[in-house]
């Protein structure tokens, strides 16, 4: 018995596994399939589970080597990359069977959401496991169902956000079905007690009872009604039987614009001039409910794509009433589609009783991870109702680390709730790096006529060019990600908002080293903090992400830029007076003698520094990271804060900078304290300067 089993399994689970047959890990398994029946089983000896509305998937786990396969052995590794990553972390040797679903905030499956899922921003992915086939060198498919489920439950992690054990229902089958119907779930599964796992067969040991009838069909074309602004009006669906592709029904409901775009994209490569059906369907045929339908044209497609519909009932003549589109079935081949005619339950079982109740749980607290998936080079996302097209996503922006434009945009998506307070409603200076940190970059202030219509702008007059221009205004998450999509590695907001453009929210002391050690930068920051503490002024420190440190003083938009600059000048003079041997307040670089510049001139209109939590176009993908003052000490490294670890730091530490947007200081009172506490120091420093001259 393997090391994992002996150290983690309980006594009962170990006993079950000992009954297994030694074998190598199986490959290319065709999963056991269920038979559709039209009502709940009226017999004892059946176990009930929820029928999850998703994609069937078998996962092969060999420590960190994981392969997730659909029922027709198509890999789901890239498509559902968060599941692949979380299964790699499980670190076991097993083959498990289950269903991949997207769930809403209540934990209810959303098959339409699964169809449109492209990244973690599109919904919560769960992998519900309901069977185990092999574990740690032992095949268990011959064991009774109850024992397999007991063994599976013993190994499923309890706190994993993506992996769940599909519980057995406690109520009777009828009650379970009633609850599923009440919650608009797909249905329930009935599994015969003691049944073994039969590979690749549709068996009567597993039954599926659906709350609404569903049928998989193959798409053979789509119509477009005259005068309609939709991409198509109806899909034409059929089934391949005895080598013939027979038309079954049109379906014209269940689509939204986004879904139609996805469907047309899938069908376009298979367009053909020839009708694929054995008989050309009459797609302009009047009906009882539409005696005068609009004239429709048709696009034929080869029968390559499978769709699933729901419907109210099927007539004796085979016609389908009230069909509605449910989704594409990428996990099935056209040749696998069969007419699912519900069998009579009485033919399968005789008596009445069911066992356990399924508990549906909401997903764990959602964490922001990715808005862009790791595969597609160009992706379109709807962010806050606004469409953004992201391109060239595999372009490497940090060559040494291999970080891409995709990584950068996903970072800004992750930190958006934290960076937005320092970006919102502030004009932006765009610093664009279309080819990454080693390529040419350029600044852009004017976006007039160049940004999407939903982007807000802030007008200004260029005296040099004598023309009206417009700054881009960051107002929400969509505009933040749009800025990132332009190749803006760093975010450079004004210190003031469009509402109060002449009144900055903060004053900045920028400690900018030249030939100094970083320990000297840290000392200067500590001295600055001591000075501000002495005059009862709150201050917040962050790394620049480049070479220095930034110290922010909250102003509450109560003072002008000139006021902010002069207050910063006062603080800079005191810091310089305390540390005269390696600091300077000289504006010209040549006059600083290689000393650290205590820069207070960032406190002027339109001047910008990197926002809190902004990436920097520097090696290591460093971030301008807010700090605890206790961290501002010897040993602090700018490279300790980067694209990879800031999201986790935010989760544990929260926003350390939020006080910057508080009430703000009483500047008049603070200036008086400066004169009281540091007046003699400044006079002495001035006197020394005169003596030296």
Q: Which of 95-109, 529-543, 571-585 has the lowest mean pLDDT?
A: 95-109
Nearest to 52, CA basis, from 407, 387, 360, 412: 360
Residue 693 confidence class, pLDDT cut points 50, 70, 90? very low
- Cα 340-343-346 angle, rounded to 5 deg: 165
Residue 544, pLDDT > 50, answer: yes
Residues 107 and 245 in one domain: no
Residue 320 confidence class, pLDDT cut points 50, 70, 90? confident
How confident is the model at residue 607, as a pLDDT?
95
Residue 359 is assigned to a structural domain of this protein? no
Residue 691, pLDDT > 60, answer: no
Structure token digits, residue 330:
């990428």
How confident is the model at residue 295, as a pLDDT?
86
Residue 247 is assigned to a structural domain of this protein? yes
DSSP classification of residue 638: G
Residue 354, pLDDT > 70, answer: no
Specify the pairing of strand 596-599 against strand 506-512: antiparallel
Domain boundary among 285, 311, 337: 311
Task: Name the residue with tokens 């081949």.
Answer: 333
Condensed to tens digits (0 to 9), the pLDDT of residues 603-650 reads: 999 999 999 999 999 999 999 999 999 999 999 999 999 999 999 999
Residue 357 is assigned to a structural domain of this protein? no
Q: Please tell me the distance from the alpha carbon of residue 479 to that of residue 452, in angstroms, as a whole number.
A: 10
Q: Please tell me the distance from the alpha carbon of residue 572 to that of residue 660, in angstroms, as a whole number.
A: 19
Residue 368, pLDDT > 80, answer: yes
Nearest to 526, CA basis, from 634, 626, 638, 610: 634
Task: Name the residue with tokens 């069911």.
Answer: 354
CATH number at residue 228: 2.40.50.140
Residue 427 is assigned to a structural domain of this protein? yes
Domain boundary among 133, 168, 203: 168
Q: Check: pTM over 0.75? Answer yes or no.
A: yes
Q: What is the mean pLDDT of residues 494-518?
A: 97
Quote the strand ranges of 415-493, DSSP E.
Answer: 426-428, 430-432, 442-444, 456-462, 467-474, 488-490
Q: Which residues pair with 100 in a beta bridge?
A: 55, 127
- The backbone torsions φ and ψ at residue 70, rounded to the nearest 5 degrees and listed phi first, read -75, 175
- DSSP run (H or E) holding 139: strand 138-139
How confident is the model at residue 43, as a pLDDT?
81
Q: How far is CA 415 from CA 525, 540, 643, 644, 645, in A?
A: 26, 19, 10, 11, 11
How confident is the model at residue 288, as a pLDDT?
52
Nearest to 276, CA basis, from 230, 340, 334, 319: 334
Residue 685, pLDDT > 70, answer: no
Residue 335 CB neighbour total at 10 angstroms: 11
- DSSP run (H or E) holding 552: strand 549-554
Q: What percent of the chain has pLDDT over 70?
A: 93
Q: Please tell me the distance from the alpha carbon of residue 526 to that of residue 531, in angstroms, as a whole number.
A: 9
Residue 344, pLDDT > 70, answer: no
Residue 586 is assigned to a structural domain of this protein? yes
DSSP classification of residue 94: E
CB 239 within 8 A of CB 339: yes
Q: If you write DSSP's letter for every residue of 286-351 in order, what string do you get?
A: --SS-SSPPPEEEEEE-S--EEEEEESEE-TTSPEES-EEEEE-TTS-GGG-----PBPGGGT--S
Q: Which residues pair with 103 in a beta bridge?
A: 109, 124
Residues 497 and 566 in one domain: yes
Residue 483, pLDDT > 70, answer: yes
How confident is the model at residue 3, as a pLDDT?
46
Q: What is the mean pLDDT of residues 119-133?
A: 94
Three-state secondary structure call for residue 474:
strand
Q: Which of 50-64, 242-256, 333-347, 652-666 has the lowest mean pLDDT?
A: 333-347
Residue 7, pLDDT > 70, answer: no
Q: Please tell me the distance from the alpha carbon of residue 655 to that of residue 652, in angstroms, as a whole number.
A: 10
Condensed to tens digits (0 to 9), the pLDDT of residues 97-125 reads: 999 999 888 788 888 789 889 999 888 99
Structure token digits, residue 484:
């990132």
Q: Which of 124-128, 347-351, 481-485 has the lowest mean pLDDT?
A: 347-351
Q: How many domains does the chain have?
A: 3
Q: Please tell me the distance from the alpha carbon of residue 215 to that of residue 314, in angstroms, as a whole number.
A: 10
**Sign of dihedral through CA atoms 168, 169, 172, 173?**
negative
Q: Please tell me the distance from the alpha carbon of residue 436 to that of residue 82, in angstroms, as a whole number.
A: 27
Condensed to tens digits (0 to 9), the pLDDT of residues 141-165 reads: 999 999 999 999 999 998 899 999 9
Average pLDDT, the chain: 90
CB 226 within 8 A of CB 294: yes
Q: What is the mean pLDDT of residues 332-361?
A: 56
Residue 519 CB neighbour total at 10 angstroms: 12
Task: Name the packing angle between helices 405-419 and 477-485 (round to 10°).
Answer: 150
Q: What is the mean pLDDT of residues 315-336?
A: 83
What is the four-CA torsion angle of 251, 256, 258, 263, rounded to 10 degrees?
A: 0
CB 72 within 8 A of CB 382: no
Half-sphere exposure of 59 (CA within 13 A, CB side): 33
Residues 307 and 388 in one domain: no
Structure token digits, residue 288:
């009882």
Q: How far is CA 274 from CA 158, 283, 414, 474, in A?
A: 54, 15, 48, 51
Structure token digits, residue 631:
């961290």
CB 305 within 8 A of CB 270: yes
Residues 223 and 159 in one domain: no
Specify the pairing of strand 583-584 against strand 596-599: parallel
How confident is the model at residue 351, as a pLDDT?
33
Domain coverage including residue 135: 3-34+51-168
Residue 202 is assigned to a structural domain of this protein? no
Specify the pairing of strand 430-432 against strand 202-210: unpaired
Residue 487, pLDDT > 90, answer: yes
What residues contact 476, with CB distance under 8 A and at least 6 apart?
384, 420, 424
How confident is the model at residue 680, as a pLDDT?
79
Condensed to tens digits (0 to 9), the pLDDT of residues 80-91 reads: 999 999 999 998
Q: What is the mean pLDDT of residues 166-179?
A: 81
Residue 307, pLDDT > 70, answer: yes
First to last CA, the chain: 86
What residues contact 43, with CB distance under 8 A and at least 6 apart?
349, 350, 351, 352, 353
Structure token digits, residue 452:
């999407």
CATH number at residue 443: 3.90.920.10
Q: Please tell me the distance from the alpha carbon of residue 666 to that of residue 132, in angstroms, as a whole number.
A: 67
DSSP classification of residue 195: P
What residues contact 282, with CB distance under 8 A and at least 6 apart?
none
Nearest to 232, CA basis, from 290, 297, 324, 306: 297
Residues 232 and 108 in one domain: no
For residues 100-112, b (16+ Cβ closer than 10 Å) or e, as one string? bbbbeeeeebbbb
- DSSP run (H or E) holding 408: helix 405-419
Residue 256 is assigned to a structural domain of this protein? yes
Half-sphere exposure of 312 (CA within 13 A, CB side): 3
**Sign of dihedral through CA atoms 279, 283, 285, 289?**
positive
Residue 349, pLDDT > 50, answer: no
CB 343 within 8 A of CB 38: yes
Domain boundary among 276, 311, 346: 311
Helices (H), 463-608: 477-485, 518-534, 561-578
CB 308 within 8 A of CB 215: yes
Residue 334 is assigned to a structural domain of this protein? no
């Amino acid at each position: 018995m393997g090391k994992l089993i002996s150290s983690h399994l309980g006594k009962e689970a170990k006993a079950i596994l000992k009954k297994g047959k030694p074998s190598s890990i199986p490959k290319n398994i065709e999963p056991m399939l269920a038979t559709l029946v039209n009502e709940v089983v009226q017999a004892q000896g059946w176990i009930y589970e929820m029928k999850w509305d998703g994609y069937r998937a078998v996962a092969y786990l060999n420590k960190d080597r994981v392969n997730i396969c659909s029922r027709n052995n198509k890999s789901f590794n890239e498509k559902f990359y968060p599941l692949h990553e979380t299964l790699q972390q499980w670190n076991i040797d097993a083959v498990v069977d289950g269903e991949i679903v997207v769930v809403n905030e209540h934990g209810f499956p959303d098959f339409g959401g699964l169809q449109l899922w492209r990244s973690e921003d599109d919904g919560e992915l769960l992998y519900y496991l309901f069977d185990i086939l092999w574990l740690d060198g032992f095949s268990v498919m011959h064991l009774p169902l109850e024992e397999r489920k007991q063994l599976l439950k013993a190994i499923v992690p309890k706190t994993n956000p993506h992996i769940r054990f599909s519980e057995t229902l406690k109520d009777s089958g009828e009650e379970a079905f009633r609850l599923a119907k009440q919650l608009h779930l797909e249905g329930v599964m009935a599994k015969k007690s003691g049944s073994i796992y039969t590979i690749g067969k549709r068996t009567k040991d597993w039954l599926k009872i659906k709350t609404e009838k569903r049928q998989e069909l193959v798409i053979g074309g789509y119509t477009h009604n005259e005068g309609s602004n939709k991409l198509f009006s109806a899909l034409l669906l059929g089934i391949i039987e005895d080598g013939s592709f027979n038309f079954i029904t049109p379906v014209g409901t269940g689509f939204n614009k986004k879904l139609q775009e996805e469907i047309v994209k899938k069908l376009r490569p298979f367009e053909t001039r020839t009708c694929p059906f054995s008989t050309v369907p009459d797609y302009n045929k009047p009906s009882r409910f539409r005696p005068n339908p609009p004239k429709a044209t048709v696009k034929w497609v080869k029968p390559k794509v499978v769709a699933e519909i729901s419907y109210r009932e099927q007539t004796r003549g085979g016609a389908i009433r009230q069909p509605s589109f449910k989704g594409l079935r990428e996990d099935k081949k056209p040749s696998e589609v069969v007419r699912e005619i519900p069998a009579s339950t009485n033919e399968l079982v005789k008596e009445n009783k069911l066992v356990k109740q399924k508990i549906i749980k909401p997903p764990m607290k959602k964490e922001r991870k990715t808005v862009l998936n790791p595969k597609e080079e160009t992706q379109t996302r709807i962010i806050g109702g606004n469409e953004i097209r992201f391109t060239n996503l595999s372009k490497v922006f940090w060559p040494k680390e291999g970080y891409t434009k995709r990584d950068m945009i996903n970072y800004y998506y992750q930190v958006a709730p934290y960076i937005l307070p320092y970006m919102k409603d502030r004009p932006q200076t765009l610093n664009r790096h279309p080819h990454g940190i080693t390529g040419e970059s350029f600044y852009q202030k004017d976006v007039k006529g160049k940004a999407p219509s939903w982007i807000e702008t802030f007008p200004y007059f260029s005296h040099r060019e004598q023309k009206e221009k417009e700054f881009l205004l960051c107002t929400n998450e969509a505009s933040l990600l749009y800025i990132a999509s332009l190749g803006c590695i760093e975010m450079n907001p004004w210190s003031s908002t469009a509402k109060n453009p002449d009144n900055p929210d903060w004053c900045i002391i920028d400690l900018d080293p030249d030939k100094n050690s970083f320990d000297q930068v840290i000392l200067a920051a500590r001295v600055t903090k001591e000075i501000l503490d002495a005059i009862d002024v709150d201050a917040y420190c962050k790394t620049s992400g480049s070479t220095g440190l930034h110290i922010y003083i909250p102003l509450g938009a109560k003072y002008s830029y000139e006021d902010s600059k002069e207050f910063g000048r006062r603080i800079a003079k005191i810091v310089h007076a305390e540390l005269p041997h390696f600091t300077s307040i000289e504006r010209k670089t040549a006059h600083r003698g290689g000393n650290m510049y205590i820069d207070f001139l960032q406190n002027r209109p339109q001047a910008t520094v990197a926002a809190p939590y902004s990436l920097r176009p520097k090696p290591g993908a460093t971030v301008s990271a807010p700090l605890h003052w206790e961290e501002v000490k010897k040993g602090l490294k700018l490279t300790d804060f980067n694209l990879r670890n800031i999201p986790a730091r935010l989760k544990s530490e929260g926003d350390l900078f939020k006080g910057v947007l508080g009430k703000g200081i009483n500047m008049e009172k603070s200036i008086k304290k400066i004169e009281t506490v540091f007046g003699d120091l400044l006079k002495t420093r001035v006197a020394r300067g005169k003596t030296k001259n």
